[in-house]
Structure 1
């Protein structure tokens, strides 16, 4: 038995909550994962996991051993990287999750630069607005907007999304231009709802000391940022979208900003990764690259369109 490999497999099983998911994350046969954990238990003469047909949980001894394994594996990786070319030339598969809007408008257009710098890294880019469980789904890092309730993640702030209310000229010519948020009651709006909870997000506005939250009357609700933008460009109604995404369309005249003297709550953007994992060279260079990329866009820092 390769004990280090068995320890890595055991950690993956605990993190993923089962053998099947761990095997998928490590790209190993499920039988191999099960055999390695069983061999580890035999060598230690300790039961590490409780197994049922539907669930796997860690024993008290297994929990203690898990924490030791994390430290040992982290030390091994750090030693390997310090003595190899991996620090200067990181390589391997990097699983990243990001919203479709940021992926299409920001990351994908710039990825050629990342691959030029790090040709030995392969990026698997998950593009959706669905919140993922990084540990369970084997994701190395994610770019997320909003506040982060998950304390198991380390976050690095890389930017801020500011929002504008806008619509196509054709829609505004037909339905008129709102001059106050309360005017939205007589308009058609496109809403965004949470994939996780199904809840539709309110629209918020602030001007001086006046703050207004509105459940905008919707003709359509979507749960994907790219679909949201497309619906607005089709003239289906008013949208409240990031100024970064709206900028080129406003400049081209395909969208017009309304309620320009009102602001909406900015949304922080963070790169996040699990805190119980060693920050490998490939994750570290990707996080640094993303932070530098966002700095090249002033509208993702402090400015509004």
Structure 2
């Protein structure tokens, strides 16, 4: 009925069926049939038609005057929505892990902002999984298994978990040769990774432990600093300690034992993604695909 109403308004605006038909790129006979259908639905005649003239009936004029502003407003709203869905500009709200964003993903956000200067990127960072719906977020970066069926998701990459310590600590306390020996060491435990899991090189033995650390902390970055300072062994994401490993400030412990990998996902609530969200999603996916730290390695899936 909306299309028929739009055609009726167009007929009145153009002053004739033929002019409205040319504007709509439709045969005049088609407009006539659809006008008759609209009149039958409404139960009244809308136009007085003769060989030389066409004008609204009193009912048709009233209907035209009431409907035309509504039709214009609806057309403008549709155009605004289309613009919002198809333009890479405006505010983009993203929830993301604090440590991952401050470290590994920082350059990805910077290059995205450089590529799309009309985007206002609103990053809300937390190491907890904040509620996407409550925060009105367009996109969220999550680590680990995602079980919310209301959220759509895309796998971006994986983060390997490694056991590390400083050379100073190992020189003073010795190098463990088996996970069972960890109980005799000073351990740094950082949430949310409270369970440590190791699988032997041949895959025949798996050891899972929930250690009581000399220090339990809810910030992995601080725990990594304590490990560099020689305060104990730390089980942490490879993305967080790779610079210290490359510089020799930390070294791998039990490197032959396989450890879990935690998958990184982008998740979002909308069924139809606005173009600005798709742009960020593709940018993050390309960044992750080009980063060796986010690729599958010898570690086990988490």
Pair in the same fold by TM > 0.5: yes
296 and 81 in structure 1: CA distance in 2 versus 1, 3 angstrom threshold? farther
**Residue 266 of structure 1: SS of its match in structure 2?**
strand
CA contact (8 A) 1:99 1:144 kept: yes
Gaps of 5+ in 2: 1-74
Q: Report the counterpart of residue 256 of structure 2 in structure 1.
A: 261
Tell me the distance in 2 between the aligned counterparts of 1:224 and 1:120: 34
84 and 141 in structure 1: CA distance in 2 versus 1, 3 angstrom threshold? closer
1:184-223 matches, cutoff 5 A? 184-194=182-192, 201-207=194-200, 208-223=203-218
1:1-305 matches, cutoff 5 A? 80=79, 84=83, 87=86, 89-194=87-192, 201-207=194-200, 208-275=203-270, 278-303=272-297
User: How many angstroms does 1:270 deviate by?
Assistant: 0.2
* 1:207-231 deviation per Cα after TM superposition (whole angstroms, max 9, x unaligned): 1221100122301122233233223
CA contact (8 A) 2:108 2:283 kept: no
User: How many angstroms does 1:85 deviate by?
Assistant: 8.7
220 and 78 in structure 1: CA distance in 2 versus 1, 3 angstrom threshold? farther
User: How many angstroms does 1:191 deviate by?
Assistant: 1.2
Tell me the distance in 1 between the aligned counterparts of 2:119 and 2:160: 32
**Residue 217 of structure 1: SS of its match in structure 2?**
coil
* 1:127-174 deviation per Cα after TM superposition (whole angstroms, max 9, x unaligned): 221110000122221111100122211110000111110011111112
Matched residues, number: 224
The Cα RMSD (Å) is 2.6
User: How many angstroms does 1:297 deviate by?
Assistant: 1.0
User: How many angstroms does 1:78 deviate by?
Assistant: 11
CA contact (8 A) 1:187 1:217 kept: no
Tell me the distance in 1 between the aligned counterparts of 2:249 and 2:76: 51
Gaps of 5+ in 1: 1-75, 195-199
Tell me the distance in 2 between the aligned counterparts of 1:278 and 1:150: 18
**Residue 188 of structure 2: SS of its match in structure 1?**
strand
Q: Report the counterpart of residue 28 of structure 2 in structure 1.
A: none
185 and 120 in structure 1: CA distance in 2 versus 1, 3 angstrom threshold? same
> Which structure is larger by alpha-carbon Rg, 1 or 2?
2
User: How many angstroms does 1:266 deviate by?
Assistant: 1.0
**Residue 107 of structure 2: SS of its match in structure 1?**
helix
